[in-house]
């Protein structure tokens, strides 16, 4: 049995979405962030030493890192869905976006999040953070011009991986001047599997309601 150790308001939400897109049977073990610190509860350390989510178990197999989980589920259970055929140019682009989601797209968001807690002490860092944010998000927006998905003409794991940084940005109003990215998030958030995952996942501050409130 597949079990997802799921933390509210985390990258784990996109794994729930993936499980629903693949129409798999699975169980959820839910964890709640501390209301004050926003940290994951210590119970997650009993599942994996890092105490982070998502963590997925499938029988005796335990996997952490949402990119690795996404690749595993698509490879193991996709039956040709959610990934381009190997040995194609599209598969190379698919892998590129899969890694870009955490390797590049998340970095300026995290830098902004952590430096925001420093107050005036962060001021010397802001020009570089603003530059990196503009560089990456304008690149992504340009890449999505005239496209429905990041790769090809159907949903892939790359879209699911890219959803989290873009949802986090949109919930803060950062996509208002990036119409191709904003439209992408809107489309993904209307998918039936996405909405079903949202019902199961508990609090998710980056979902459609959060975006509409900004």
214, 42 Cβ separation under 8 angstroms: no
Confidence of residue 211 (pLDDT cuts 50, 70, 90): very low
> Running DSSP on this structure, what letter comes out for residue 38?
-
pLDDT of 127 reads 80
Query: If DSSP codes are grouped into helix, strand and coil, which group holds residue 210?
Result: helix
Kindly report the length of the chain.
214
Instruction: Kindly report the CATH number that applies to the domain delimited by 2-82.
Output: 3.40.30.10
pLDDT of 70 reads 98
Mean pLDDT of 31-49: 92
What global pTM score does this model have?
0.93
- Of 159, 169, 168, nearest to 194 (Cα)? 159
Q: Is 132 exposed, middle or buried (0-12, 13-18, 19+ CB in 10 A)?
A: middle
Mean pLDDT of 48-75: 97
- CA 10 to CA 204: how far, in whole Å? 8
56, 5 Cβ separation under 8 angstroms: yes
Virtual torsion, Cα 148, 153, 154, 158, nearest 10 deg: -70
Two structure tokens written together for 96:
């590129």
Mean pLDDT of 168-182: 95
Q: Among 34-38, 45-49, 98-102, whose mean pLDDT is lowest?
A: 34-38
Instruction: Kindly report the CATH number that applies to the domain delimited by 89-191.
Output: 1.20.1050.10
17, 197 Cβ separation under 8 angstroms: yes
- Of 112, 134, 131, nearest to 122 (Cα)? 112
Q: Where are the domains of the chain?
A: 2-82, 89-191
pLDDT at 84 over 70: yes
């Amino acid at each position: 049995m597949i079990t997802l150790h799921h933390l509210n308001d985390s990258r784990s939400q996109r794994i729930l979405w993936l499980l629903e897109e693949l129409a798999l049977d699975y169980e959820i073990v839910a964890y709640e962030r501390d209301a004050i610190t926003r940290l994951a509860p210590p119970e997650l350390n009993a599942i994996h030493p890092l105490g982070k989510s998502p963590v997925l178990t499938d029988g005796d197999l335990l996997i952490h890192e949402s990119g690795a989980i996404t690749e595993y589920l698509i490879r193991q259970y996709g039956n040709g869905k959610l990934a381009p055929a190997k040995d194609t140019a599209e598969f190379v682009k698919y892998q590129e976006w899969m890694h870009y989601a955490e390797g590049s797209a998340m970095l300026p968001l995290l830098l902004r999040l952590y430096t925001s807690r420093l107050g005036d002490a962060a001021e010397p860092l802001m020009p570089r953070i603003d530059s990196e944010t503009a560089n990456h998000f304008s690149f992504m927006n340009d890449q999505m011009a005239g496209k429905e998905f990041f790769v090809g003409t159907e949903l892939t794991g790359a879209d699911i991986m890219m959803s989290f940084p873009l949802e986090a940005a949109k919930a803060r109003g950062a996509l208002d001047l990036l119409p191709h990215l904003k439209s992408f998030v809107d489309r993904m958030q209307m998918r039936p599997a996405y909405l079903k995952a949202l019902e199961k996942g508990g609090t998710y501050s980056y979902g459609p309601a959060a975006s509409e409130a900004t």
